[in-house]
Structure 1
Amino acid sequence: MRLLRPLLMTAALLTALPAAAQELRIGFKAAVDGSDPHQNYTPNRNVQLHVYEPLVFQDPFMRPLPGAASSWRQISDEAWEFTLREGLTFHDGTPVTADDVVFSIKRAREITGLRTFVGQTRSIASAEAKDARTVIIRTRGLSTLLPNQMAVIAIVSRRLAEGAVEADFNGGRAAIGTGPYRWVRLSQGQDVVLERAERHWREPEPWQRVTFRFIGNDSARVAALLAGDVDVIDNVPAALYGRVRDSDRSQLITGTGLFTLYMYLDHFRDQVVYATGPDGQPLARNPIRDPRVRQAMNLALNRAALAERAMEGSADPIGQFAGPGFIGHDPSLPVPAQDIAQARRLLAEAGYPDGFGLTIHCTNNRFAGDSRTCQVVGQMLTSVGIRVTVDALPTAVFFRRANGGQGLDPEFTAFMAIFASSTGVASETMSSILRTRNAALGQGPLNRGRYSNPAMDAALDRVDRTLDDAERERAMGAAARIAIEDNAILPIFSLRASYGVRRGLTLTPRGDQYTMATGIRTAP
């Protein structure tokens, strides 16, 4: 097991820093809308990881490292043992015990709503405290990815968080973690303020105060960096790369990203509203349920052009569920090549020699280039005979309709959205968005297209049961191949992590695109 080697600054250097140098100001695209660490929402979790630590940390490619737990081991086919770091305490000085961990797992599993960690905790049958520093987690059968899944469960104090509500975490009684920073306040729609914790098991952070300031407009965020109003910004759009890169005040840093744009497809309705014939009326049958139609749609896409032109170089074309460097990437699975002639032949074989009409839904403010990408995808599909109408919606409206209330049965027939598993593991992505839905086992919680393939389910079962790391990754590749050959969902490209950073600072890009103060330092 690799040891965690964080970047450290000595106490002497900290005292030598001027007060202004100890404040870090981050311009954040997405607004944090909650302080409860067990609500699974990416912007919230990004900030909360500074305050609440999981048992297992993740490196920039989401591979597991020791966190609040100094070690872990599998003690039987259905049990893992995690050992807490010696001397680990909460910010108020009280020791962290195995009972706090058991409570945190239980709370994360039982919290309700759409933003839950039910998928990541699906394999857990129970958790118990063996002694003050040892937690035993029992699983439903063999669960080889449990350490990866534990990287998303924040540890809170049972004493303070039992019965806690949102206000208790926003600077109230429950806002106590084990991380290098303490929670000060969340101002809705404005910012989150953190302060360096007096107690932490690592060397003190160089930043006394960290402010995440919400600046949703891309141009305004870049302008704030260039004006010196903030020190770091996230999600630099490709159209503004040059402004950040060419300024004598800032630098552009990019890295391989985990968030992937997928086209989700309706596999469960016999007839759909948004697939129409020449007369504009809904077709008698859902054409997407025909594998030849799905393959034709796949072959219509020029992923390289989408990444380079529609996204202006801020994305990488992809044809699977994990990019290079991430767990489960299979080098033998190529990015599909565009083949317009074959796509047209497949449509004719499926009974659509003259094509059909299709409305594609997507977001228009989820990431830079989302609406433009949707328009170009529509043009590519139209070129093979699928006459596309694009309906680009604000994110809040899009997901309300994509979620079908809370039943996760979208009204859409084909729609595009980005997704990334918080574990960074390819099989976990498939388990969330493609595995046959099984609420009792926490499988397929975001399978909006209701895809169901026993062969892929069985392949994912093998992943869950395989102990050897290399063999498990091969099993992930086998599961991915089944889904890709069936065109269950269409991976299009992965977004590059992009940051604007004040000169004089260094930043380590992360696959999850998180902006971590713990990865930002003054340049040597």
Structure 2
Amino acid sequence: MKTIAGFITACSIACSALAPQASHADTLTIALDYDPADLYGTLSTNNPMFAMLESLYLDDPRTGQVEPYLALSHEMASPTEVMVTLREGVTFSNGEPMDAEAVVHSVTVFSNPEIVPAYGIYAPMIDSAEVIDDTTVKIVLSEPNPIVDLLLAQIIVVPPDYWEEVGGTEGFGQAPVGTGPFVLTDWVKDDRIVMDTNPDYWGDLPENIDEVVWRTVPEASSRAAGLRTGEYDLAMNLPAIDVDAINAEDGLTVYEGDVARIFSLVLSSLDIHETPVQDRLVRQAINYAIDKQTIIDALYFGKARLLNGQVVLPGQPGYDPEMTDYPFDPEKARELLAEAGYPDGIDVEFKCASNRYAQGLETCEAIAAMLGDVGINASLTLLESGEFIGQYVRRELAPIGLIGLGVPNDPSFGIGVYRSDWRYSYYQNPEMDALIDASRSETDPEARAEIIRQASQLLFDDAVIAYLFGAQSFFGHSDDLEGFATNVAQRFFVHTLSLAE
């Protein structure tokens, strides 16, 4: 096996070997808010990776449905056996076949807790996979599963020989090869990711797009300015303050995604973090201290909504319309601090990403001021995006951190991140673990919804997080760009786009 260092001396060298160079008449330029840590989703999924890598099923933003993608179909041979039929004749951009062997390898990678990608919270649902024939795979589930389609939509298919050649997750994430419509040609960290069309793509290539350039533009105001001047065809994660002005300009449109990114404060109750935040009374005090509606009105211009004390979105199984948020009550917050033994207040560290979320820094500053008003002296620590997400998954974003999770259209992820053994969890409670496990295996819709409601109530009672708001994401684009849409997890897929001639 080649070492990563031997394979990749510099990304530009490695990437050049993966795809032919070409002249480009039609380039789509996209302004990213941060440079991804990798292009496989080991720590966090990102939109550039989905231009190259594809999954068995697709959570399609055009239809709002989870539909076959690299798989043609699946059927249940038993309550725990999924027979997946694959497309024929699909190859990876390096020439390897996308066949049953590749899918079994990919399922094995996906379900390995040591190397699992960001949405590997679904991995415990899988027991094994085996080849039936070249185009048929049997996936054996650990238990009956109510969200098989969504599970298949998380499994990215990777070429097994190339995976081994580059040393697995780390090497693959820096120079990925997939079945998608684009191939990586260059990646200059913190500057740009460049992709060419895949001439052997099995599906329809986007019209009038030969090249995609993803530019890293951390400042939201710079992304908005570049969109206005025509430097960018698409700008991601625009601040709410710019939405109306951009929409008013000729030739520009702001796509307003669903209220799907759930913002909350991580409040670590783990034993490894010995701080006052371990005390439930302190965590409840933090919830009472934050005036969420003022933040929504002042920083998000009303383009966000209260969470109503739950991380389940309206319309999802188990959403409880009767639940309400902790109200803004500074006096109650002070009383709880005193009851917890801190009548003179506490000092805590509050970690925030410097450039990951639009209005993120301003939100952190506003929350810190509100906490200070009740005696919680929160000192802000700003982290660049890569370090921020790294600390989050290493359980170092403690005792308090602002996080915004874009979640699939099912509560399995929203509540699943609070299971004791999951890497995103800053909470350990066997009762919660049992409810999460039950929600993953209960196939009766009403019974499953009730389990999820119980889990939501437990999270609320324990004040596991500080509930903030669900925020929209704003994507500005030129009117020459057609077909843009995102799914509830805020993913978009370049092969669905086109540029006007």
Q: Does TM, normalized by the shorter one, top 0.5?
A: yes
Do structure 1's residue 477 and structure 2's residue 453 form an aligned pair? Answer: yes
Q: TM-score, normalised by structure 1?
A: 0.80
Tell me the residue number matched to 2:21.
Answer: none
Q: Secondary structure at the match of 1:294?
A: helix
1:369 counterpart (359, 375, 379): 359
Opposite residue 34 of structure 2, the aligned amino acid is A
Shift of 1:234: 0.7
Shift of 1:337: 2.6
In 1, are the aligned partners of 2:166 and 2:172 still within 8 Å (CA)?
Answer: yes
Could you tell me how far apart the structure 1 residues matched to 2:166 and 2:113 are?
12
Tell me the residue number matched to 1:431.
Answer: 416
Shift of 1:75: 2.5
Q: 1:190 to 1:261 in 2, by over 3 A?
A: same
Q: 1:31 to 1:399 in 2, by over 3 A?
A: closer
Tell me the residue number matched to 1:131.
Answer: 133
Do structure 1's residue 186 and structure 2's residue 187 form an aligned pair? Answer: yes
1:73 counterpart (72, 75, 88): 75
Could you tell me how far apart the structure 2 residues matched to 1:474 and 1:202 are?
41
1:50-449, aligned counterparts within 5 Å?
50-60=51-61, 64-91=66-93, 95-110=97-112, 118-165=120-167, 175=177, 177-206=178-207, 207-269=209-271, 272=274, 286-318=275-307, 319-325=309-315, 329-383=319-373, 385-395=374-384, 399=388, 402=391, 408-410=394-396, 412-421=398-407, 423-432=408-417, 434-437=418-421, 444-447=422-425, 449=426
In 1, are the aligned partners of 2:29 and 2:234 still within 8 Å (CA)?
Answer: yes
Could you tell me how far apart the structure 2 residues matched to 1:268 and 1:26 are?
40
Do structure 1's residue 452 and structure 2's residue 428 form an aligned pair? Answer: yes
Opposite residue 478 of structure 1, the aligned amino acid is Q
Opposite residue 410 of structure 1, the aligned amino acid is E
Opposite residue 420 of structure 2, the aligned amino acid is T
1:24-48 C-alpha deviation (Å, 9 max, x unpaired): 221222213434x3634333xx112
Shift of 1:342: 3.4
Q: Secondary structure at the match of 1:198?
A: coil
1:470-508 C-alpha deviation (Å, 9 max, x unpaired): 543442222122111221122312331111111243421
Shift of 1:224: 1.8
Shift of 1:397: 8.5
Do structure 1's residue 517 and structure 2's residue 501 form an aligned pair? Answer: no
Which structure 2 segments of 5+ residues have no match? 1-23
Q: 1:371 to 1:193 in 2, by over 3 A?
A: closer
Q: Secondary structure at the match of 1:334?
A: coil
In 2, are the aligned partners of 1:436 and 1:457 still within 8 Å (CA)?
Answer: yes
Could you tell me how far apart the structure 2 residues matched to 1:445 and 1:181 are?
31
Opposite residue 123 of structure 2, the aligned amino acid is T
* RMSD after superposition: 3.3
In 1, are the aligned partners of 2:264 and 2:466 still within 8 Å (CA)?
Answer: yes
Tell me the residue number matched to 2:15.
Answer: none
Opposite residue 510 of structure 1, the aligned amino acid is N
Could you tell me how far apart the structure 1 residues matched to 2:340 and 2:186 are?
58
Q: 1:249 to 1:198 in 2, by over 3 A?
A: same
Q: TM-score, normalised by structure 2?
A: 0.83
Shift of 1:187: 3.0
Tell me the residue number matched to 2:477.
Answer: 501
1:379-436 C-alpha deviation (Å, 9 max, x unpaired): 32333x3332331312358638945xx8x35373222222334x4432323222x212
Q: 1:271 to 1:226 in 2, by over 3 A?
A: closer
How many equivalent pairs are there? 473
1:75-96 C-alpha deviation (Å, 9 max, x unpaired): 3333222111344444466642
Shift of 1:111: 8.3
Could you tell me how far apart the structure 2 residues matched to 1:290 and 1:410 are?
18
In 1, are the aligned partners of 2:37 and 2:43 still within 8 Å (CA)?
Answer: no
Could you tell me how far apart the structure 1 residues matched to 2:53 and 2:128 are?
22
Shift of 1:131: 1.4
1:34 counterpart (32, 38, 53): 38
In 1, are the aligned partners of 2:371 and 2:378 still within 8 Å (CA)?
Answer: no
Which structure 1 segments of 5+ residues have no match? 1-18, 273-285, 438-443
Opposite residue 509 of structure 1, the aligned amino acid is T
1:329-352 C-alpha deviation (Å, 9 max, x unpaired): 443333443233433443444444
Tell me the residue number matched to 1:278.
Answer: none
Tell me the residue number matched to 1:8.
Answer: none
Opposite residue 376 of structure 2, the aligned amino acid is R
1:24 counterpart (21, 28, 38): 28
Greater mean alpha carbon deviation, residues 459-468 or residues 372-381: 372-381
Opposite residue 368 of structure 2, the aligned amino acid is G
In 2, are the aligned partners of 1:327 and 1:424 still within 8 Å (CA)?
Answer: no
Q: Secondary structure at the match of 2:123?
A: coil
What is the identity percentage for the equivalent residue pairs of Structure 1 and Structure 2?
25
1:23-73 C-alpha deviation (Å, 9 max, x unpaired): 3221222213434x3634333xx1121222111111339753222112223
Could you tell me how far apart the structure 2 residues matched to 1:225 and 1:116 are?
30
In 1, are the aligned partners of 2:306 and 2:468 still within 8 Å (CA)?
Answer: yes
Opposite residue 361 of structure 1, the aligned amino acid is K
Could you tell me how far apart the structure 1 residues matched to 2:179 and 2:460 are?
41
Q: 1:205 to 1:430 in 2, by over 3 A?
A: same
Could you tell me how far apart the structure 2 residues matched to 1:38 and 1:416 are?
21
Could you tell me how far apart the structure 1 residues matched to 2:292 and 2:247 are?
26
